[in-house]
Amino acid sequence: MGNVLVTGASGFVGRALINKLQFDAGFNSRAVVRVSDSTFADGIDQVAVGDISSQTNWSAALADIDFVVHAAARVHVLDEIAEDPLTQYRQVNVEGSLNLARQAAAAKVKRLVFISSIKVNGESTQPGRPFKSDDQPNPEDAYGVSKWEAEIGLKQLSADTGMEIVIIRPPLVYGSGVKANFHRMMRWVDRGIPLPLGGIDNRRSLIALENLLDLIVTCIEHPSAANQTLLASDGEDLSTTELLQHIGEALGRPARLFPVPVGLLSFTAELLGKQAITERLLGSLQVDITRTCELLRWQPPISPGEGLRNTARNFKR
């Protein structure tokens, strides 16, 4: 056990991780926030560092820290409006991450766990060919490129300084407090909106928040995690149709689905300029976590059904 610094502690994953480390896992945790946040539980130490960049001063945050979990990032958005998104992603996700890592190594931090993204591997998979941790990276958008470049820089820094690096690439994370597209899907089902997604035969890997937190905590000290790149998921893939059905069951409101040919859905989405979200609803993205499980002797502690029920309880509140 030891002292763990968590960046991005005001976010969906970071806030839940801080609470798990402090109250369940036996670590002393410190939350890094952009500005002071009064909503943390009593007993949570926090340090405000402002915007994360190549110039951020991490000295106060890193004092007496043994491990860092770097969850802060400029996150991926479907409707990007920045004129040069890659430059903006690089400023936070690459330059900001490497600046933190250099200062962490100088402060004698033992290990940095970097929360990357499965988008480093790519955007979709072919049937029967899930992503694996040793696949050649193939990021297709600015966010994925920035995460891949950060991984490269962190590995080099580890080789130069001896500070251990662990890279975790999760797919879409769902759980209590989830926002964005997953929250939107739950709202569709909860309102009883008929959806033309009743015949989608794809496969998507997701990860429940509880499973991701358990993996992160495992990676903080596990000796076999040192300097590894680990893929994450629930270990059970669902089609979009199955996911919506499970969401309906969790909400107690059966999803109102009807089948429409995939080709027609794709054509309509193209006309409406909604290709990006439709590709995620219709396409496959599978993740093979066999190596993660074998290397760490780890299994996702909860099933997708349980994870969705937990998510639904929070949604209804």
Q: CATH code at 138?
A: 3.40.50.720
- Estimate the crossing angle of helix 304-316 against helix 209-221, to 10 degrees: 120
Dist CA 144 CA 251 (whole Å): 33
122 and 266 in a single domain? The answer is: no
Residues 186 and 246 in one domain: yes
Residue 255: give the domain boundaries. 180-201+239-282
* Per-position pLDDT tens, the chain of length 317: 789 999 999 899 999 999 999 888 889 899 999 888 778 878 788 999 998 999 999 999 999 999 999 999 988 665 556 678 889 999 999 999 999 999 999 999 999 999 999 999 999 998 889 999 899 999 999 999 999 999 999 999 999 999 999 999 999 999 988 888 889 999 999 999 999 999 899 999 999 999 999 999 999 999 999 999 999 999 999 999 999 999 999 999 999 999 988 888 787 767 767 667 777 888 899 999 999 999 999 999 999 999 999 999 888 87
Active site residues: 143
Q: What is the pLDDT of residue 82?
A: 65
- Structural domain includes residue 314: no
How many domains, in total, are found in the chain? 2
Q: Is residue 50 part of a domain?
A: yes
